[in-house]
């Protein structure tokens, strides 16, 4: 055997050995990250060690920094303008969630709008431990924002904030948050009124929002400002945000009564709030309006015309009524959430338990009945006519906004609700449905008026119409 043949044999063996080692390395990679290769149903996902970037972030948390250097030194080192907020973070035991971000990591700062009462800026962040720039948002921290952070942390809600930084030029403490490039739920309904009509997707959105409220209510808190602009989309998922006005459930009614005011948005304010009553079921009422909007795609105009009495009583722009062509269970769900008496509405956990089997039974990409599309087009035309009319009288009429109302000037919107209420608890209503999982697309049939001519949607005199 000559040298040439030996080289061929050696090269072949080397090739085979490298191929074998490569195959083993690929197999180990697949077994470590099976979900990346679509094999999570075949290969169990292993428990992996903590990612190194997370270890970096933990070492920069205010809790670790205080343990290592002491609370007093932390307070002495921060800008005087930020000390009150930092002290509150330690008092509320939020230090374990708060990471320190140096100002030098941020660049390309751009004003993008106002969230609540604070300005919000888009920035590029390049951490020292991760050379890949990240798109983030900064917001000045105030007392209301600290309350929002505290509520989210205590209720184990999805935390969209990442940590804190201090502006070098102003000394303001600023919250570092995920930047929601996908906008809010109202943006989606406005931009794609006919493009998001898949029933499974809609039910999935309701489940996410109900789960957020269930966690919040389980922690003994009320949100007090649930509406579509406070539902943002991040990473193709919806999150309920803006907990600045959240209060303990046991104190919500007393706070409303004592202040004689409510910070909210029409028509999402529950009717009982006008009497100074606010409970978890008031949050459910607001969610019920959103559940109706997810299929009607109605964007409510500004309530200015309601406040000054110039609203045409025959206008349909504020009407909430049955949407034709929907499954019976969907109709009964939002009707139950909008019941005049709070005790008849479901709680957030009941909504989750009722919808989960329906969501599981629905097929993917099943569009809604064409009657829904026709209804959306008609309602959009009504709103467009309304805007044209009142733009001439009052100038440009924007969409409904959150504002501070006193209980005496909070308009009643109960007369805009034209739904067949049953005045029965949700458990009784839902229990009468015939196994909705078996036929989740069965259309709802609107009840006919009774022989006396009275409609079943009329609220009886003894009901709390407020």
- Same domain? 161 vs 197: no
In a domain, 465, yes or no: no
Alpha-carbon distance 203 to 210, whole Å?
Answer: 10
Whether residue 221 is found in the same domain as residue 320: yes
- Are 315 and 284 found together in one domain? yes
Is residue 84 located within the same domain as residue 201?
Answer: no
Q: Is the pLDDT of residue 457 over 50?
A: no
Q: Are 227 and 267 a contacting pair, CB within 8 Å?
A: no
Q: Which of 34-38, 99-103, 308-312 has the highest mean pLDDT?
A: 99-103
C-alpha angle 178-179-183 in degrees, rounded to nearest 5: 125
Task: Tell me how far apart the terminal alpha carbons of the chain are, to the nearest angstrom.
Answer: 103
pLDDT at 316: 75
Shared-domain flag, residues 130 and 107: yes
User: CB neighbours (10 Å) of residue 341?
Assistant: 18
Residue 268 domain-assigned (yes or no):
yes
Alpha carbon distance 150, 232 (integer Å): 19
* Percent of the chain clearing pLDDT 70 (strictly above): 76
> pLDDT tier at 209 (50, 70, 90 boundaries)?
very high
The kind and range of the H/E element at 110 are strand 106-115
Domain-embedded: residue 255: yes
Tell me the pLDDT of the chain averaged across its residues.
Answer: 78
Residue 28 inside a domain? The answer is no
Does the predicted TM-score (pTM) go above 0.85?
A: no
Q: What is the CATH number of the domain that holds 144?
A: 3.30.200.20
pLDDT digits (tens, 9 = 90+) for 360-381: 888 776 677 889 889 988 988 8
Predicted confidence band at 54 (pLDDT cuts at 50, 70, 90)? low
Residue 11 maps to a domain: no
How far from 133 is each of 51, 65, 129, 403, CA to CA, in Å? 18, 25, 11, 37
Which domain covers residue 392, as residue numbers? Answer: 185-431
Tokens linked to 165: 């930084």
Looking at the fold, whether 121 and 104 belong to one and the same domain comes out as yes
- Most confident range (mean pLDDT) of 86-95, 252-261, 282-291 is 282-291
| 32 falls within a domain | no
Has residue 382 got a pLDDT over 50?
A: yes
144 with 232, same domain: the answer is: no
Residue pair 35/45 in contact (Cβ under 8 Å)? The answer is: yes
Residues 317 and 223 in one domain: yes
Say how many domains are in the chain: 2
More confident residue, 131 or 421: 421
Average pLDDT over residues 434-461: 42
In a domain, 447, yes or no: no
**Radius of gyration of the chain from its Cα atoms, rounded to whole angstroms:** 27
Within-domain flag for 366? yes
> Does 238 share its domain with 328?
yes
Q: What is the mean pLDDT of residues 170-192?
A: 78
Q: Which of 161-175, 215-229, 323-337, 435-449 has the lowest mean pLDDT?
A: 435-449
Same domain, 340 and 399: yes
């Amino acid at each position: 055997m000559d040298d040439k043949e030996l080289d061929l044999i050696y090269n072949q063996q080397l090739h085979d050995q490298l191929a074998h080692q490569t195959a083993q390395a690929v197999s180990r990679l697949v077994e470590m990250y099976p979900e990346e290769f679509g094999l999570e149903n075949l290969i169990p996902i292993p428990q992996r060690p903590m990612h190194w970037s997370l270890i970096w972030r933990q070492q920069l948390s205010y809790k670790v920094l205080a343990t290592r250097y002491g609370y007093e030194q932390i307070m002495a080192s921060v800008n005087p303008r930020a000390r009150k907020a930092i002290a509150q973070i330690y008092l509320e035991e939020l230090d374990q969630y708060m990471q320190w971000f140096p100002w030098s990591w941020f660049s390309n700062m751009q004003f993008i709008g106002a969230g609540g009462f604070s300005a919000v800026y888009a920035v590029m962040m390049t951490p020292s431990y991760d050379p890949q720039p990240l798109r983030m948002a900064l917001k000045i921290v105030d007392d209301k924002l600290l309350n929002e952070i505290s509520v989210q942390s205590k209720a184990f809600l999805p935390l969209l904030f990442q940590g804190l930084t201090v502006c070098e030029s102003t000394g303001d403490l600023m919250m570092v948050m995920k930047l929601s490039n996908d906008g809010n739920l109202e943006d989606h309904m406005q931009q794609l009124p006919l493009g998001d009509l898949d029933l499974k997707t809609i039910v999935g959105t309701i489940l996410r929002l109900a789960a957020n409220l269930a966690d919040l209510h389980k922690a003994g808190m009320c949100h007090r400002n649930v509406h579509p602009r406070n539902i943002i989309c991040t990473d193709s998922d919806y999150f309920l945000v803006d907990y600045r006005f959240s209060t303990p459930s046991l104190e919500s009614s007393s706070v409303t009564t004592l202040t004689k005011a409510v910070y909210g948005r029409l028509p999402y304010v529950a009717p009982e709030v006008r009497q100074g009553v606010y409970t978890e079921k008031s949050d459910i009422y607001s969610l019920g309006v959103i559940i109706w909007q997810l299929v009607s795609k109605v964007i409510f105009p500004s309530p200015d015309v309601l406040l000054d009495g110039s609203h045409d009583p025959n206008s349909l722009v504020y009407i909430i009524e049955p949407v034709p062509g929907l499954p019976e269970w969907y109709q009964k769900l939002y009707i139950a959430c909008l019941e005049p008496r709070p005790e008849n509405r479901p709680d957030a956990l009941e909504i989750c338990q009722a919808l989960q089997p329906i969501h599981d039974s629905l097929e993917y990409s099943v569009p809604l009945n064409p009657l829904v599309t026709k209804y959306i087009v008609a309602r959009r035309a009504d709103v467009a006519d309304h805007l044209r009319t009142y733009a001439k009288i009052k100038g440009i009429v924007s969409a409904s906004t959150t504002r501070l109302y006193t209980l005496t000037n909070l308009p009643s919107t109960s007369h805009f609700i034209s739904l067949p209420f049953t005045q029965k608890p949700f458990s009784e209503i839902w229990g009468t449905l015939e196994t909705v999982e078996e036929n989740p697309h069965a259309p709802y049939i609107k009840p006919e008026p009774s022989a006396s001519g009275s409609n079943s949607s009329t609220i009886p005199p003894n009901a709390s119409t407020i």
